[in-house]
Structure 1
Amino acid sequence: MYGHPVPYDTNVRNIQNRHVLKTVQHCEAVCEFTANYILTREDANRRKEQLRMLRDCADICTLTAKYMARHSRFAKSPASVCAKICEACGNHCLRHPDQQSQKCGQTCLQCARECREFAMSS
């Protein structure tokens, strides 16, 4: 009527789901970036556990994002697992003082909160 396109997805629930999807995708990217950053550090050999956690987190975020993006009826299951892994990864990253690990830790914990809410929603 006024020349403005109506978004295909005006449902509040779908808007919230898109927000969670973006959060999960962002977490995956930050974890991948952080893993690559750690590999350039002199102490990379002492941070193998952090590298494993980051890769696990990035992988579950990738899988979870795929289920969310296609509105799979099974999306809540990987989101629940994603929340657990992101929380573990975030807490582990926060133990390291470098700025990138701190940023990654905060990103992972935010993702864990949003995935947990998504998984528990009706």
Structure 2
Amino acid sequence: MPDAGHRKEQLRLLRDCADICTLTAKFVSRCSPFAKSLAALCGQICEICGNHCLHHPDPQSQTCGQICLHCAQECRVFAMGA
């Protein structure tokens, strides 16, 4: 695979994204006072992951990238909420 290094990085980012999303959902569901801070970090990680995925032309990466960017937007909205 000519882009094996990029794919390894993509998989690392996807794991980070999945882990931070899971943790953020747990904090939000229990109304933790840290939920908004964690959501802001989640938004940052999801944006980085999404942009990385969009650099790969395959349909799975494109879909993943769009989902990650949507998640990033929702996390930021939550983090900025009152």
What is the TM-score normalised by the length of structure 1? 0.63
Q: Counterpart in 1 of 2:74? A: 114
1:83 aligned to 43, 49, 60, which one? 43
Structure 1 vs Structure 2 CA RMSD: 1.4
After TM superposition, give the deviation of residue 44 of structure 1 in Å.
7.8
The alignment-based identity, stated in percent, is 68
What is the correspondence of 1:7-86 to structure 2 with a 5 Å cutoff? 45-46=4-5, 47-86=7-46
Alignment CA distance shift 1:93-1:82 (3 Å): same
Structure 2 spans left out of the alignment, 5+ residues: none
Question: Offset at 1:75?
Answer: 0.5
Write out the 4+ residue segments of structure 1 that deviate beyond 2 Å after TM superposition: 42-46
CA offsets, 1:51-105, max 9 Å, x none?
Answer: 1111111110011010011111210011000000000000000000110100000
Q: Which residue of 2 aligns with 1:102?
A: 62
Task: Compare the two structures and name the one with the higher helix fraction.
Answer: 2
TM-score (norm 2): 0.91
Amino acid at match of 1:51: L
* Number of corresponding residues: 81
